């Protein structure tokens, strides 16, 4: 076999191998899969929520209609915009990483550009439960918070709960708790795409 033919065959084999690896579903454990799947089953639907705990009100959520929209779902990622009134700047990204689940907050401006405070979040550090997962702030987020002048957020842990009738988003740290509960029994009209995304 000529060297050029061998090189071509080797290149084809490696390309197919890498393609198969990149397209494979990420490894995960049962509790992470169950949590991810429980949210995914609502894909395409939107739900209204209300603030049920906020020990430091004044963050712009008061008297606003709060809508979560399980907008796009793949084997690896769930995109869940969180609309606060007419503010469509927030999207939660829940991603299977192969070593757990990641939660990122994608914050955009109206023109679609990234906010200075974006892509913060955390990664699971244990199995959690099929209904509850916790995401302590990761190192990227801690450095971002210090750079943006909010080092108190380094202690953030975000939690998400998914039960048959309610989805909960919760933020906790020392001296701070914020929680929104969404009613999964009453779907509402899905909103338009969040800022930075297209329908």
Q: Does residue 49 sit within a domain?
A: yes
Give the whole-angstrom CA distance, residue 188 versus residue 172.
28
Domains in the chain, number: 1
What tens digit of pLDDT does each residue of 105-151 get? 999 999 999 999 999 999 999 999 999 999 999 999 999 999 999 99
| % of the chain residues with pLDDT over 90 | 81
Q: Does residue 11 sit within a domain?
A: no
Give the whole-angstrom CA distance, residue 104 versus residue 95.
8
Q: Does residue 17 sit within a domain?
A: no
CATH number (domain holding residue 122): 2.40.128
Q: Does residue 136 sit within a domain?
A: yes
Which of 71, 81, 130 has the alpha carbon at shortest distance from 104? Answer: 81
Q: Does residue 70 sit within a domain?
A: yes
Looking at every residue in the chain, the average pLDDT score rounds to 90
Residues of the domain holding 76: 28-188
Q: What angle do CA 112, 114, 120 make, to 5 degrees?
A: 135
């Amino acid at each position: 076999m000529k060297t050029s033919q061998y090189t071509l065959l080797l290149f084809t084999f490696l390309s197919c191998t890498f393609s198969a690896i990149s397209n494979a579903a990420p490894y995960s454990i049962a509790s992470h899969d169950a949590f991810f799947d429980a949210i995914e089953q609502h894909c395409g639907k939107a739900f209204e929520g209300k603030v049920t705990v906020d020990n430091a009100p004044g963050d712009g959520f008061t008297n606003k209609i709060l809508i979560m929209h399980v907008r796009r779902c793949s084997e690896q990622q769930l995109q869940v915009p969180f609309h606060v009134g007419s503010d469509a700047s927030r999207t939660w990204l829940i991603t299977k990483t192969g070593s757990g689940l990641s939660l990122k907050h994608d914050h955009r401006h109206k023109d679609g550009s990234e906010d200075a405070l974006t892509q913060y979040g955390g990664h699971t550090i244990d199995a959690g439960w099929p209904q509850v997962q916790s995401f302590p702030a990761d190192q990227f987020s801690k450095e971002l918070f210090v750079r943006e002048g909010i080092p108190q957020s380094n202690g953030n842990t975000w939690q998400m709960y998914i039960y048959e009738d309610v989805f909960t988003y919760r933020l906790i740290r020392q001296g701070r708790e914020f929680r929104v509960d969404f009613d999964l029994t009453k779907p509402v009209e899905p909103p338009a795409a969040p800022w930075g995304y297209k329908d």
